[in-house]
Amino acid sequence: MHSISKLLLCLFTLSAADVAAQQVLAVSPLDRQSREGSSFTHFPLGRADARMQTLHRDIPAGTLISGHAYRRDAIGVRGQVDGFTSDLSVTLSLSPNLPTQASTTFANNVGANPVVALPRTVLAFPPTQRPALDPTATFELLIPYQVPFLMPGGTNTLCVDVQVFGNASATGTNQNLSIYVDAHEHFTDGRSEQAGFRTGQGCVAPGQTTACYSAMSLWRLPTSNRLDVSVRNGVPGNAAGSTRAFVMLGSSQAGAPWPTRPDCPFWSSAEVWFPLVGTTNAAGDYDGSLTTLPTLPPGFRLWCQAGTIDLATVAMSFSDAVTMVTPALGTLPIPVSRIINSTDHTATTGTVSYAVPVMAFF
């Protein structure tokens, strides 16, 4: 095993430009400005009939808002998401409720003197492609307002109230669509999940016909980090229990092949190797967690790769690359919440959640 101190040194010496946040947009949740969200959502743009409010405590005072936008999720789907139109309206106000006090009754979250920033309008949204790296560089799904809204001085909660009346796409009219908008979930204990972005391609393990791949999520916990690892199409497990999974962590991307398997590239600089507890199953799959990680500094890009090996025969495989920016603890109190009725824009009530779309205000 390589020393963890070498990895930490590499992380601390990375260029600040690699993790610099975009400065031209006010992003909410603010901690997702330069990081991919932990999930995705089809709310509100993917719905044919819906109402969604989002409550934001992290929009700076004095911001003149002329529109908001959503960005394409980078994790959930690799292909193109087709273009569509949405028939919607947007109303803004200063909510009397904190995000953590959001009411299931929509009217209770609306402040005095609400502004119809965008009267009912049909907007066209372009097709989006999966980015080359997470997060998506631009917020492609733009909703420009007809009436701007000025955030006053002091700390306030902005209520963004979106009503969707219908939509149209190549699949038809007024159908629910899979839009894959980037989203992030907050937790009341401050933990934060950073989903990994898969790229490259792994190699085929002996006994398999499909390349090995993996999915990873890095959790920032109050006193440690945890890496959840799932491997598929690895070396098949056996009765002897001699198969193992492992994970490599690196501070940069690499491409050199394993000496005895030129078809198995190192996608990670692999400063640190960790064995994972347990064995692969008969299909060559593994699901587990690496819980021995120290607390990694936030804001640095890791390049990770999983692998499997049979300790008796030395049959092995490497997965594709998984990369993510190391997370900080989540902001507390939780700065953004969502209230959604996904089937009826005329509804008076919805469901409160801390899983929110990542939004930019411009």
Residue 10 has pLDDT above 50, yes or no: no
For residues 316 and 321, give the distance between their C-alpha atoms in angstroms, rounded to a whole number. 16
What are 56-98's pLDDT values in tens digits? 999 999 999 999 999 999 999 999 999 999 999 999 999 999 9
What are 253-268's pLDDT values in tens digits? 987 898 889 999 999 9
Q: Give burial (CB, 10 Å; 0-12/13-18/19+) of 76.
A: middle
Please state which of the ranges 110-114, 135-139, 253-257, 317-321 shows the lowest mean pLDDT.
Answer: 253-257
What are 344-362's pLDDT values in tens digits? 999 999 999 999 999 999 9
Residue 324 has pLDDT above 60, yes or no: yes
Domains of the chain and any CATH numbers: 36-189+333-361 (no CATH), 192-325 (2.60.40)
Contact (CB, 8 A) for 28 and 338: no
What are 242-256's pLDDT values in tens digits? 999 999 999 999 878
- Give residue 167's pLDDT: 98
Please compute the mean of the pLDDT values over residues 220-237 and round it to a whole number: 96
- Give residue 322's pLDDT: 98
Contact (CB, 8 A) for 271 and 287: no
What are 33-60's pLDDT values in tens digits? 999 999 999 999 999 999 999 999 999 9
pLDDT tier at 25, thresholds 50, 70, 90: low
- Give residue 23's pLDDT: 40
155, HSE (Cβ side, Cα atoms, 13 Å): 6
Residue 271 has pLDDT above 90, yes or no: yes
Please state which of the ranges 11-15, 46-50, 297-301, 324-328 shows the lowest mean pLDDT.
Answer: 11-15
State the DSSP code for 62.
T
pLDDT tier at 331, thresholds 50, 70, 90: very high
Contact (CB, 8 A) for 195 and 219: no
Residue 8 has pLDDT above 80, yes or no: no
Please compute the mean of the pLDDT values over residues 88-111 and round it to a whole number: 98
| Upstream peptide bond of 236 is cis (omega within 30 degrees of 0) | no
Please compute the mean of the pLDDT values over residues 115-134 and round it to a whole number: 97
For residues 227 and 7, give the distance between their C-alpha atoms in angstroms, rounded to a whole number. 16
- Give residue 256's pLDDT: 87
Please compute the mean of the pLDDT values over residues 277-301 and round it to a whole number: 95
Residue 110 has pLDDT above 90, yes or no: yes
State the DSSP code for 256.
P
Contact (CB, 8 A) for 359 and 55: no
What are 152-211's pLDDT values in tens digits? 999 999 999 999 999 999 999 999 999 999 999 999 999 999 999 999 999 999 999 999
Residue 125 pairs with which residues in a beta bridge? 84
Q: Locate tokens 């990081």: which residue?
A: 35
State the DSSP code for 8.
H
